[in-house]
Structure 1
Amino acid sequence: MIRDTTLAPYSKWTKPFVSEVAEIINLLKDNGYDANQLMSVTGLQPKNVNAWTARYKNEPDNVSSIPYPCWCFLCALAGKPNIQSDGETIQVNVRRVLSYFKPTAFRPSDVFVCPTSEQFSNLIDNENYETLTTEKLSEVFHWNAKNFAHGISQGSLPFLNWSLIVMTLGIDIQKMILKNLEGPVFID
């Protein structure tokens, strides 16, 4: 069982236990994704996942070392998107946003092509979208704003960060990334 306090914006967030992180990973594994497939489509590194779930069977109440953005990402993959905003999305014209980017920007990590700085400029730090600034997104996801801005300007934003931005716009990253789920996946 995942505690409600772990499903909260960063300012109210309680870090999950290693057993809670393992619960999400195991839920995804139980629904068609073995460890290798999961790592391939999410871009998560096995060593990180192992560290976040270390000793979950023997010491389930140990606090996980998982960073907040990674926890948001895993929760969204398990059917609980936008915990960073209590489930709210940023209101945009999704069709227009989709038109800014090539379809390869909306694929799993193993076939994802990062948008260019020009494509990002249509969405982030653009006067049309007041809430989509490097500063505000960095604050919401607890990112280093300088590194985040550099990734955008270089067209080298990590897949996880891009996925979280897309999620804030109401795009279902579970469907975007986990195309081979055996059934609906929702954490309790």
Structure 2
Amino acid sequence: MIRDNTLVPYENWAKPLVSEVAAIINLLKDNGYDAVQLAKVTGLQPKNINVWTARYKNEPDNLSSIPYPCWCFLCALVGKPNIQSNGDVIEVNVRKVLSYFKPTAFRPNDKFLCPTQEQFSNLIDNENYDSLTTEKLSTVFNWNASNFAHGIKNGSLPFLNWSLIVMTMGIDIQKMILKDLEGDVSID
């Protein structure tokens, strides 16, 4: 059971318990994604997942050290996207947005090619999308704004950050990333 106060925007967020993070990881494992596969398609390192779920069998009520963006990402992978905005998405013309990027931007981590600064400029810090600024996205996801801007400028934005941006526009990252699910995966 995942507590409701872990599925909220950052300013009201309660860190999940190690047992809650483990529940999500175990749900993904039960549906065909072991630690190696999960690392391959998400870029999340098994050592980090182990730290976030440390001692969950012996001490399930300990708070996890999982960062908020990673928690948002994991929640989206198990059917609970956009907890950072209470489930709301940024209204965009998805077809138009998709046209800004190469198809390789919408693949799992192991096949992902980060968009270029030019491609990002069509979307982020563009007057057409008021909610898609480095400052606003950094606040929403509790990112370091200068690191985020640097990743955009150099075309080196981490896959997780890109996935969360895509998710904010209503694109289903579960379908984008988890191509080999063995069934419907949902924490609801």
TM-score in same-fold range (> 0.5): yes
Counterpart CA distance in 2 for 1:99 and 1:139 is 27
Counterpart CA distance in 1 for 2:34 and 2:54 is 18
Indicate the residue corresponding to 1:164 in structure 2: 164
TM-score, structure 2 length as denominator? 0.99
TM-superposed deviation, 1:166: 0.1
Counterpart CA distance in 2 for 1:38 and 1:139 is 27
Counterpart CA distance in 1 for 2:143 and 2:15 is 16
Corresponding letter in the other structure for 1:24: I
Q: Structure 1 stretches of 5 or more lacking a match?
A: none
Indicate the residue corresponding to 1:62 in structure 2: 62
Indicate the residue corresponding to 1:176 in structure 2: 176
State the SS of the aligned residue for 2:183.
coil
Any idea what the Cα deviations from partners look like across 1:37-60, whole Å, max 9, x if unmatched? Answer: 011000001110000000000000
Residue 12 (structure 1) aligned with residue 12 (structure 2): yes
Indicate the residue corresponding to 1:154 in structure 2: 154
State the SS of the aligned residue for 1:23.
helix
Matches within 5 A, 1:49-88: 49-88=49-88
Q: Structure 2 stretches of 5 or more lacking a match?
A: none
Counterpart CA distance in 1 for 2:19 and 2:119 is 39
Any idea what the Cα deviations from partners look like across 1:93-128, whole Å, max 9, x if unmatched? Answer: 000000000000000000100000000000000000
Counterpart CA distance in 1 for 2:44 and 2:35 is 10
TM-superposed deviation, 1:34: 1.2
Matches within 5 A, 1:8-157: 8-157=8-157
Counterpart CA distance in 2 for 1:179 and 1:185 is 12
Corresponding letter in the other structure for 2:53: T
TM-superposed deviation, 1:35: 1.1
Task: List 4+ stretches of structure 1 deviating above 6 A.
Answer: none
Corresponding letter in the other structure for 1:10: Y
State the SS of the aligned residue for 2:149.
helix
Any idea what the Cα deviations from partners look like across 1:57-77, whole Å, max 9, x if unmatched? Answer: 000000000000000000000
**Aligned alpha-carbon RMSD (Å):** 0.4
Any idea what the Cα deviations from partners look like across 1:141-176, whole Å, max 9, x if unmatched? Answer: 000000000000000000000000000000000000
Corresponding letter in the other structure for 1:127: E
Counterpart CA distance in 1 for 2:184 and 2:125 is 35
TM-score, structure 1 length as denominator? 0.99
TM-superposed deviation, 1:78: 0.5
Counterpart CA distance in 2 for 1:151 and 1:115 is 10
Counterpart CA distance in 1 for 2:58 and 2:49 is 17
